[in-house]
């Protein structure tokens, strides 16, 4: 495992993926959305390589997870991890009406993190949390 994504960060990412599944199945997306809106970034100075380490940890966690990870689950976990470590991350949900396509991604200071920046240009934003 590369040094940026520590084993502890991968475990935290696995926990966030599992947490998403449990909360989504028991309470629905409203609870996830409300939880993200209440979770403010920690009062810490983010490490310079935090974004890349979290992205890498999410990739490892997704490879180890028991089922396929979708963009909303991945992005929610990424936002939570970044906020826990002091980064002002936002979950963005966008769509294209015809042909229908929806996607969730993460932005930090207006930059797309861990995903293709083309989604920001091609999709209309439905919500930010």
Question: Would residue 13 count as lying in a domain?
Answer: yes
Question: Would residue 113 count as lying in a domain?
Answer: yes
Starting from the edge strand earliest in sequence, which strands make up the sheet with 101-108, in order? Answer: 111-113, 101-108, 89-96, 124-128
Question: Would residue 104 count as lying in a domain?
Answer: yes
Question: Would residue 1 count as lying in a domain?
Answer: no
Average pLDDT of every residue of the chain: 92
Question: Would residue 109 count as lying in a domain?
Answer: yes
Q: What is the mean pLDDT of residues 86-113?
A: 95
**Residues facing 105 on adjacent strands:** 92
Question: Would residue 78 count as lying in a domain?
Answer: yes
pLDDT score, position 4: 58
When divided into structural domains, the chain yields a total of 1
Q: What is the mean pLDDT of residues 13-23?
A: 97
- Residue 94: give the domain boundaries: 7-128
DSSP 13-32: HHHHHHHHHHHHHHH-HHHH
pLDDT tens column, 28-70 = 999 999 999 999 988 877 778 889 999 999 999 999 999 999 9
Q: Is a pLDDT exceeding 50 seen at residue 2?
A: no
Question: Would residue 2 count as lying in a domain?
Answer: no
pLDDT, greater one: 84 or 44? 84
């Amino acid at each position: 495992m590369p040094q940026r994504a520590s084993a502890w960060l991968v475990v935290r990412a696995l926990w966030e993926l599992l947490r998403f599944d449990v909360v989504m199945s028991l309470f629905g997306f409203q609870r996830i959305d409300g939880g993200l809106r209440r979770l403010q970034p920690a009062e810490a100075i983010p490490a310079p390589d935090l974004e890349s380490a979290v992205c890498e940890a999410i990739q490892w966690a997704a490879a180890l997870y028991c089922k396929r990870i979708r963009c909303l689950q991945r992005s929610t976990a990424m936002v939570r991890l970044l906020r826990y470590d002091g980064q002002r991350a936002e979950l963005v949900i966008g769509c294209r009406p015809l042909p229908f396509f929806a996607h969730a991604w993460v932005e930090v200071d207006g930059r797309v993190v861990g995903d293709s920046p083309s989604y920001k240009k091609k999709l209309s934003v439905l919500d930010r949390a």
